[in-house]
Amino acid sequence: MSGTSKEPVTFSAGCAIENDYLYLAAKPDKLDDEDEFARLFFFDAQNTARPWVHHDLADWQIVSVCVASRFGANGREYCALSKHGDVEFTWVGGKRVEHIDGAGLRRDKPPIYGYVKAIREVAADLYVVGSGGQVYRRNGGRWNAIADALHKPAVAPKSAVDAAGLDIGGKEFNDIDGAASDDLYVIGGNGEIFHYDGNSWAECEAEAPSRPLTCVRAVSTSEIWVCGFGGVLLRGNARTGFSSAGSCSEILLFSSLGVLSERVYLASNKGIFGLSDDGIIRRVKTGLVPEVDDANVIDVKDGVLWSIGYKDIVSFDGTHWRRLEHPDNAA
């Protein structure tokens, strides 16, 4: 792995490995939007001599990353998901790449289900979700579709696949989480929330307009949080249904959420917001200069909350906010 590159980058995804250890997906700013290229960074605060290292993946567009903490012989593994269903696993001393059969648009024949969106570890397994009702579980070294009732391919095109015009069928799932392999939730682009009990999927009752939902986090079997477009924030579970958990005076796009010390924090297109005890969602004043305007991913690990923006990365330990400057983006 290399250190820093001195090329400004924009972060597309990230997660916390430990409270001072991050895994980030980025793309150099010099590349065009249509160029598929990924630069994967690790930041380890305990490695004072070389806190930042990276490696590159040509022809990859990373949409999600996670940590697989319960794998066997290799110990902890770091997982990066491309929109076409390629998964890179890296660990101390090695790496491998797997492909999820059926995912992505790089297919020369049907069925075509479309791009995948998110990867997450739940219990001892990895899960991936995407458009066309795609829900995959990896166990026993294989990726298997587990939502046949929701899994629907696009109508086969008469000529070469045109990704922009392809009519993808089924539900569009943006995220997945749960308390166990038989207690999973997926959320959709039309406001749907589905629950899996280990045998079948059922749509949950939800007090929400048909707005895209972006993030689901399971705090416990009974406390599930969901956020999305238009300032939507829901709380509930499959047994009680989901109801609005807060109101906001601004029209916001909540892209991610996390819970620290029983308080919900949300990443938005206007900075970091938090749910107050009075049920109002307000902007969080970090006291940093400049204030945080750039928030995309929220992750909480070992008592520390991280906000990973496209350019700005900050952390909060419950008392103090700190900004982490990436050396390639330093002024």
CATH number of 62-329: 2.130.10.10
Residues in the chain: 331
pLDDT digits (tens, 9 = 90+) for 276-286: 999 999 999 99
Portion of the chain with pLDDT greater than 70, in percent: 92
pLDDT at position 18 is: 97
Geometric angle at alpha carbon 186, from 180 and 191, rounded to 5°: 150
Give all strands of the β-sheet with 62-68 in edge-to-edge order. 62-68, 77-82, 86-91, 94-99
SS (H, E, C) the chain: CECCCCCCEEEEEEEEEECCEEEEEEEECCCCCCCCEEEEEEEECCCCCCCEEEEEEECCCEEEEEEECCCCCCCCEEEEEECCCEEEEEECCEEEEEECCCCECCCCCCCCCECEEEEEEECCEEEEEECCCEEEEEECCEEEECCCCCCCCCCCCCCCCCCCCCCCCCCCEEEEEEEECCEEEEEECCCCEEEECCCCEEECCECCCCCCEEEEEECCCCCEEEEEHHHCEEEEECCCEEEECCECCCCCCEEEEEEECCEEEEEECCEEEEECCCCEEEECCCCCCCCCCCCCEEEEECCEEEEECCCCEEEECCCCEEEECCHHHCC
- 288: Cα separation from own chain's centroid: 25
What is the average per-residue pLDDT within 190-202? 96
pLDDT the model gives residue 107: 79
d(CA 183, CA 198) in angstroms, rounded, equals 7
> Is residue 160 predicted with pLDDT exceeding 90?
no
Q: Is it the case that residue 83 has pLDDT exceeding 70?
A: yes
pLDDT tens digits, 47-58: 999 999 999 999
Query: Looking at residues 193-207, what average pLDDT do you find?
Result: 95
What are the angstrom distances between the C-alpha of 122 and each of 80, 163, 226? 16, 31, 17
Mean pLDDT of the residues in the chain: 92
Token output for 27: 């793309």
Burial track 94-106 (b if 16+ CB lie within 10 A, e otherwise): eeeebebebbbbe
Question: How confident is residue 203, by pLDDT bands cut at 50, 70 and 90?
Answer: very high
pLDDT in tens, 108-146: 778 889 999 999 999 989 999 999 999 999 988 899 999
CA distances from 175 to 109, 128, 217, 225 (A): 27, 8, 9, 12
Q: Residue 93 above 90 pLDDT?
A: no
pLDDT tens sequence across 296-314? 999 999 999 999 999 999 9
